[in-house]
Chain A
């Protein structure tokens, strides 16, 4: 019921946007939100097509669609009056909504590729050479990743004769490796998709918010959906290990970044590792990450400069408060939504993953101490109309933190301890760090790494 209504409604609104009858995007996303609310507690919906096209709308989908609506509403509050990107913006929203309901290998492929095309238009909408170049790089990696994925899907079809995830019974190791390598490249994990920092840091702030907030979650969702079926889940330990390591490695580059947006982009790489290092808590963490990361990216516009050395010791009061709140959320201080997500993640993770996640958490607080150690200066408030998006996101971040708050002494102490250790580390070594250039960001090196990893994984699984 929801799906049918959703398609009809989205089509009508899409036509309105196309015909330029709907000037305010906020209204569009607000209506979507109101429309979506009654369906939060409905039964699961399943549609089955001929030849293996399959649509499922379950709890995970609900959480992701809610995240999608909330983030798009918040970002559209910020981008009043920007007419140029309205069309791809709305189209991305609709594509993502559809992706969160698909449960077969080919639908996921088509929607991810459609998403790549829209992302490319969104990144290059600023009209700078840098943006053109990073979107070309993005497209090369996206296409290579999806081609590798398609190779794996072809092999699965040869064995089973269907694309439907519920009907697939046997999956060979080679196709497993190919499918997940393709998805990891497309989503942008460390070692796999190193196009991510340059693409996310060079786009306009609102676009970066959408990219880091919800578009990477498209890849995350498809990985989660495929992993939730029996023949595919044998690769889960490998994915969680790769994610845990990548969450730590990416944080090193984030610590040494000299520009705010670049730092945030590197943190997206690291947070993707956090999300995927435990499959059960992944939807919750993805939800929290979407809220605070898109907010932090939007705040980049309100700083005096993007580079840390030109930013000055003192920031205006209100951007400062919002920045601190966002930083506390990503570090995981109690009372924010980040804490709720992180404590449930740590509760369910052990040994290998836990070790790297703790290192990565310390790294996160080291790199955000660059912002926290700045002091505010008294200044005007700028009016409620200008700060609407900030108020909206702060209510979501704190409100989510209060609603999902779960008091456990151990994680309470741990979160403060990790923050203090990180802050002290920043005081000791943070001042004179040189910016590390990531050698993996070159196309040739990254593709070489990807092919080596594929070969290594196949040889390891066969032996």
Chain B
């Protein structure tokens, strides 16, 4: 279980980055770090059943310990979703920054007046 600690640390770094940073762009970058940590977490889960790629060239290889393909197949979707959310939020943030001329969250909130 020791190999999970660095991954959880990355996820926690991302989360605390979103919490602590005052700059909205830094917040989005932290969000991406958190997302990447999550992808690594799923890759680690699939490695638990073995470390060979799940491709068979001949029947002799049937008994090898294969990587579990399902979490990886599933996390590809999460990567795409993470990319699209990030790009959309960066586009909208760019528009907010352009109109308010502010990057700090508190300043934007004050100017926008939620």
Interface residues of A (CB under 8 A from B): 51-52, 106, 109-110, 113-114, 116-117, 120-121, 124, 129-130, 132-136, 139-140, 142-144, 147, 150-151, 154, 157-158, 161, 163, 198, 202, 441-444, 447-448, 451
In angstroms, Cα B89 to Cα A109, docked, is 19
Q: Which 9 A-B pairs have the closest CB atoms?
A: A447-B19, A51-B70, A198-B114, A139-B89, A113-B81, A129-B99, A133-B112, A132-B92, A132-B96
Interface residues of B (CB under 8 A from A): 11, 15, 18-20, 24, 27-28, 31, 34-35, 38, 41-42, 45, 48, 68, 70-71, 73-74, 77-78, 81-82, 84-85, 88-89, 92-93, 95-96, 99-100, 105-106, 108-109, 112-114
In angstroms, Cα B95 to Cα A113, docked, is 22
B85 contacts A116, C-beta separation under 8 Å: yes
A229 to chain B minimum Cβ distance, whole angstroms, is 19
Contact of B89 among A129, A136, A150, A443 (CB under 8 A): A136
Can you list 12 A-B contacts (CB < 8 A)? A51-B70, A109-B78, A132-B96, A136-B24, A140-B31, A144-B18, A151-B11, A157-B45, A443-B18, A443-B27, A447-B15, A447-B19
In angstroms, Cα B102 to Cα A323, docked, is 40
In angstroms, Cα B20 to Cα A451, docked, is 13
Report the tally of A-B residue pairs with Cβ distances under 8 A: 105
The binding surface of chain A is classed by DSSP as helix
B64 to chain A minimum Cβ distance, whole angstroms, is 18
B34 contacts A147, C-beta separation under 8 Å: yes
CB-CB nearest in chain B for A197: B114
Chain B residues near A198: list those with CB within 8 A.
Answer: 114
Contact of A133 among B11, B42, B108 (CB under 8 A): B108
In angstroms, Cα B45 to Cα A143, docked, is 21
B45 contacts A117, C-beta separation under 8 Å: no
B89 contacts A140, C-beta separation under 8 Å: yes
B41 contacts A154, C-beta separation under 8 Å: yes
In angstroms, Cα B23 to Cα A444, docked, is 11
CB-CB nearest in chain A for B49: A161
Besides A129-B95, A130-B114, A161-B68, 18 other CB < 8 A contacts? A113-B81, A117-B81, A121-B88, A129-B100, A133-B112, A134-B114, A136-B92, A139-B92, A140-B18, A140-B27, A143-B35, A143-B82, A150-B42, A157-B45, A157-B71, A198-B114, A442-B105, A447-B19
